[in-house]
């Protein structure tokens, strides 16, 4: 049974986690005889994050979730739903979300599911968790986007596929909300631009087909419908964040709609983070919340191959100032002086790209 | 590690759950049935802190099976306060960076895996705080 009329729902806590390891575009290009400057210029990428051998979607999701709970000041037992969106769940059969829920103390009275929709699995989890709060079914819901994505050796994806996680705790107590959700919109069609079949280690993609008919059509379609629904124009937003498969696409999809570079750059992390897949636009949103001022409007539009986009219009509240420094900021993690640059051999070992003797 | 054994340790390894002796106040991690200090048998649940300092450490260079990919790696005794010292790996650190007294926090990491198809065991590892 529901909890009665809900006034307004929104984000009450958020957290991001970015692993320490990095690899530069030059290091990957060197191995495959590719032209690093053209990749750097063409994709607007400089380096990407790499998970350590003891990190995966679950470990990063747990750390991001703990930061979200810390900022919210909410105990795990009050979380009524845990949704983890990823295309790199460590198990083919066994949920990631149960481990996350157990680690944050949300078990046993909790709904849990893993989501999968290429790079928009994270925003799906956010969408559903927030919807359950709005319906009054649960008090707090956690939506997480996390990935340790793989690109095939030598493939264009190898320059971008990276690792990271973002978690958002949703609630309806007005005094706890740091970003109110005012509008949402989802836009999707059956567009096979990127996929990974059962038992395949690496995904495949349809090269340039991933652009105009896939990323741009859905990101634009969702953005336009969302702004129409909200009665808002690009100039009404302080910040906007799109899915970030590389550096170029999110910048272009923003500029072509009339957003300025200044509105885009705060959440534009891919040039030095890479593509964190399900974590991409959610981590971008955390970077925006780290600096956003009360009263500012934010638009977030994810994109997942297959294909579709989820859009959200947020309005930042006064409470943001009280919670943002309760956990590590996203840019601080991204630009940390603890970054460790890997050579390709170590990167290949960490990512399980080397075929070893079976024991 | 077998799945049941992995499952039994989750409260401690995932959530750092401990037990505080109602008689003498000693914090036990992992919890025990009998307090080694006063032989008390009644406890209240508590948690150990997720930050601490390295008390001592060693660097494993010839690792046992299941850990060879991570070598060299550090194992440390970390003082997390309340009289509790835990033994755990230290991640995200170069062996030459390690030092007694180094401040660390506990992060959620993969600890081991039962081969390519078995259960993955998660738990805490210490990482440096700079």
- Flag whether residue B13 sits within 8 Å of chain A, measured between CB atoms: no
Cis peptide leading into residue B129 (ω within 30°) = no
Strands (E), chain B: 17-21, 27-28, 43-47, 51-60, 73-81, 84-90, 103-113, 120-128
- Flag whether residue B111 sits within 8 Å of chain A, measured between CB atoms: yes
Average pLDDT, integer, range A30-35: 96
Average pLDDT, integer, range A122-151: 96
- The average confidence (pLDDT) of chain B is 95
CB spacing of B122 vs A52 below 8 angstroms: no
3-state SS, residue A206: coil
The pLDDT of residue A5 is: 59
* 8-state DSSP, A342: P
CB A126 within 8 A of CB A312: yes
CB A21 within 8 A of CB A350: yes
Q: What is the 3-state secondary structure (H, E, C) of B75-107?
A: EEEEEEECCEEEEEEECCCCHHHCCCCCEEEEE
% of chain A residues with pLDDT over 70: 98
CA distance A47 to A50: 10
Q: How confident is the model at residue B2 (pLDDT cuts 50, 70, 90)?
A: confident
Residues of A with CB under 8 A from a CB of B: 20, 52-56, 58-59, 62-63, 66, 90-91, 99, 102-103, 105, 337-338, 340, 349, 358-359
% of chain A residues with pLDDT over 90: 90
The pLDDT of residue B15 is: 97
CB hemisphere CA count around A86 (13 angstroms): 30
3-state SS, residue B9: coil
CA distance B51 to B79: 8
The pLDDT of residue A201 is: 87
Q: Which domains does chain A have, with CATH numbers?
A: 10-177+322-348 (3.40.47.10), 180-318 (3.40.47.10)
Average pLDDT, integer, range A342-351: 96
A260-296 pLDDT, tens per residue? 999 999 999 999 999 999 999 999 999 999 999 999 9
Residue B91: which of A52, A99, A105 has the nearest Cβ? A52
B108-128 pLDDT, tens per residue? 999 999 888 999 999 999 999
Active site residue A359: no
CB spacing of B108 vs A54 below 8 angstroms: no
Q: How many CB atoms lie within 10 A of CB A345?
A: 12
Q: Cβ contacts (< 8 Å) between B107 and chain A: which residues?
A: 59, 63
The pLDDT of residue A239 is above 80: yes
| Separation in Å, CA of A317 to nearest CA in chain B | 30
Residue A165's contacts (CB-CB under 8 Å, 6 or more residues apart) are: A16, A17, A57, A60, A61, A63, A64, A144, A145, A146, A147, A276, A279, A283
- The average confidence (pLDDT) of chain A is 95
| Separation in Å, CA of B70 to nearest CA in chain A | 7
The pLDDT of residue A3 is above 70: no
Which of A87, A124, A158, A296 is an active site residue? Answer: A87
> Per-residue b/e over A179-203, b at no fewer than 16 CB within 10 Å?
bbbebbbbbbeebebbebeeeeeeb
Average pLDDT, integer, range A10-14: 98
Phi, psi of A205 (to 5 degrees): -140, 165
Q: How many CB atoms lie within 10 A of CB A14?
A: 28
Structure-token match 């051999």, residue found: A345
Q: How confident is the model at residue A150 (pLDDT cuts 50, 70, 90)?
A: confident
Q: How confident is the model at residue B1 (pLDDT cuts 50, 70, 90)?
A: confident
Q: How confident is the model at residue A37 (pLDDT cuts 50, 70, 90)?
A: very high
For the packed helices A96-104 and A57-72, what is the interaxial angle rounded to 10 degrees? 40
Q: Cβ contacts (< 8 Å) between B115 and chain A: which residues?
A: 359
Q: Minimal CA–CA distance to A19: which of A164, A157, A133, A140?
A: A164
The pLDDT of residue A297 is above 90: yes
Q: How confident is the model at residue A1 (pLDDT cuts 50, 70, 90)?
A: very low
Choices 3.40.190.10, 2.60.40.10, 2.30.110.10, 2.40.50.840: CATH for B3-128 = 2.40.50.840
Average pLDDT, integer, range B83-97: 96
The pLDDT of residue B130 is: 79
The pLDDT of residue B91 is above 50: yes
Q: How many CB atoms lie within 10 A of CB B55?
A: 14
% of chain B residues with pLDDT over 90: 90
């Amino acid at each position: 049974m529901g909890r009665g009329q809900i006034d307004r729902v929104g984000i009450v806590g958020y957290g991001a986690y970015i692993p320490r390891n990095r690899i530069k575009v030059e290091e990957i290009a060197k191995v495959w005889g590719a032209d690093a400057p053209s990749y750097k210029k063409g994709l607007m990428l400089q380096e990407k994050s790499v998970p350590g051998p003891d990190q995966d979607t679950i470990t990063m999701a747990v750390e991001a979730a703990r930061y979200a709970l810390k900022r919210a000041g909410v105990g795990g037992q009050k979380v009524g739903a845990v949704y983890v969106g990823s295309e790199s769940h460590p198990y083919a059969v066994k949920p990631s979300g149960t481990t996350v829920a157990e680690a944050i103390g949300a078990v046993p009275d909790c709904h849990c599911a893993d989501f999968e929709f290429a790079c928009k699995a994270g925003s799906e989890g956010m969408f559903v968790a927030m919807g359950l709060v709005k319906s009054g079914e649960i008090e707090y819901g956690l939506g997480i986007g996390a990935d340790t994505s793989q690109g095939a050796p030598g493939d264009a994806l190898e320059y971008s596929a990276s690792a990271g996680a973002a978690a958002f705790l949703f609630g309806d107590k007005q005094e706890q909300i740091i970003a109110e959700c005012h509008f949402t919109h989802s836009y999707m069609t059956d567009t096979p631009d990127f996929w990974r079949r059962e038992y395949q280690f690496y995904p495949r993609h349809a090269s340039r087909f991933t652009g105009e008919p896939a990323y741009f059509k859905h990101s634009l379609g969702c953005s336009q419908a969302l702004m129409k629904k909200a009665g808002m124009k690009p100039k009404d937003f302080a910040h906007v964040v799109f899915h970030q498969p590389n550096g170029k696409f999110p910048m272009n999809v923003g500029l072509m709609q009339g957003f300025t570079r200044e509105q885009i750059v705060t959440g534009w992390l891919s040039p030095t983070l890479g593509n964190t897949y399900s974590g991409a636009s959610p981590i971008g949103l955390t970077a925006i919340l780290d600096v956003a001022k009360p009263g500012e409007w934010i638009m977030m539009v994810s994109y997942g191959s297959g294909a579709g986009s989820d859009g959200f219009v947020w309005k930042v509240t006064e409470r943001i100032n009280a919670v943002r420094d309760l956990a590590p900021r996203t840019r601080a993690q991204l630009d940390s002086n603890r970054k460790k640059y890997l050579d390709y051999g170590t990167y290949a070992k960490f990512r399980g790209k080397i075929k070893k003797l079976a024991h | 590690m077998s799945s049941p054994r992995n499952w039994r340790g989750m409260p401690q390894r995932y959530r750092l759950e401990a037990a505080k002796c109602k008689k003498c106040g000693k914090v036990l991690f992992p919890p025990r049935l009998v307090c080694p200090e006063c032989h008390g048998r009644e406890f209240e649940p508590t948690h150990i802190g997720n930050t601490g300092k390295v008390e001592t450490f060693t660097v494993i260079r010839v690792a046992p099976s299941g850990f060879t990919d991570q070598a060299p790696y550090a194992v440390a005794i970390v003082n997390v306060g309340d009289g509790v010292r835990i033994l755990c790996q230290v991640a995200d650190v170069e062996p030459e960076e390690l030092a007694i007294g180094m401040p660390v926090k506990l992060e959620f990491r993969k600890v081991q895996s039962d081969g390519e198809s078995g259960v993955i065991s998660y738990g805490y590892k210490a990482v440096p705080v700079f």
